[in-house]
Amino acid sequence: MGAGYVNLRKQRKRQQRKVGREEEGSSSNRPDLLAFVLALCGTSVTKPMLYLCDNQALLKAVKRLVGEGEKATLVGASDADILLEAIKELQKRTTAGAAMFLVKVKSHRGEPANGEADIQADKAISSKDVPTEWHDWTNRAVFTWQEPHLKGCMVSYEDRKSTQDSGVRKAIRQGSAEEEVRKHLDHVTGAWKQISKQRRRVDVSYDPSIATAL
């Protein structure tokens, strides 16, 4: 997975990184979080910052962990390592009194800065010289499954893996439902086979007397 950002203020400063821990599953949140941390570290804490992002989940995660309100925790968060670093950088900016704005933009809609950040992320994936960060395992259980995708009239299956999250819970529910359907079909099919065997055992013989009477 690759992450990248571009700073329009510092003569269009660009930076890319590979983000590790793919063995525990991959999602768009993790590289986007790394790009956010890279942008925070690459910007002076004393200057205001406007960050454009096309990942709504990232913005929700950051909003949940900063500001006033109920106590939030990183326990169970799949990307707690990068989120913790982001919180530390945000706290530095808060202490320095620098304004911070996070704005959601639509992806692949011609927004120049967002498009260039995607290019930097692609370069990180293809380049062998870009270092990998945040690759330490968490020793959490990793679930693997096949996710069906409908393409026209054909169903294809994509291999997926992840630690415990909403995608894993959805796959477990779907797999349990499919297993119950299979058991029901096996039961109905078995009962139908038994009925068919009993019908074939019935001896329908020809009786001339009955034919004469008719």
Place 119 in a pLDDT band, splitting at 50, 70 and 90: confident
Residue 150 and residue 91 share a domain: no
Place 43 in a pLDDT band, splitting at 50, 70 and 90: confident
Residue 175 and residue 93 share a domain: no
Domain end (from 133, 152, 174): 133
Residue-number span of the structural domain to which 165 is assigned: 143-201
Place 137 in a pLDDT band, splitting at 50, 70 and 90: low
Residue 123 and residue 19 share a domain: yes
Rounded to whole angstroms, the Cα distance separating 160 from 146 reads 6
Residue 47 and residue 24 share a domain: yes
Residue 57 and residue 156 share a domain: no
Please report the pLDDT score of residue 68 as a whole number.
60
Radius of gyration of the chain (CA): 29
Whose tokens are 């299956």? That residue is 157
Place 44 in a pLDDT band, splitting at 50, 70 and 90: confident
The CA-based dihedral angle spanning residues 170, 175, 178, 183, taken in that order and rounded to the nearest 10 degrees? -140
85-109, pLDDT tens digit by residue?
888 888 898 889 888 888 888 877 7
Residue 12 gets the label, from left (phi > 0), alpha (psi -120 to 50) or beta, of left
Residue 74 and residue 20 share a domain: yes
**Which two three-digit tokens encode residue 103?**
């704005």
Rounded to whole angstroms, the Cα distance separating 194 from 118 reads 61
CATH number at residue 38: 3.30.420.10
Residue 176 and residue 108 share a domain: no
Residue 122 and residue 57 share a domain: yes
Query: pLDDT averaged over the chain?
Result: 76
Q: What is the mean pLDDT of residues 155-162?
A: 79
Residue 78 and residue 40 share a domain: yes
Say if CB 132 and CB 18 are below 8 A apart.
Answer: yes
Residue 110 and residue 27 share a domain: yes
Whose tokens are 């477990």? That residue is 172
Assigned domain for 105 exists:
yes
Q: CA nearest 162: which of 33, 30, 26, 32?
A: 26
The number of domains in the chain is: 2
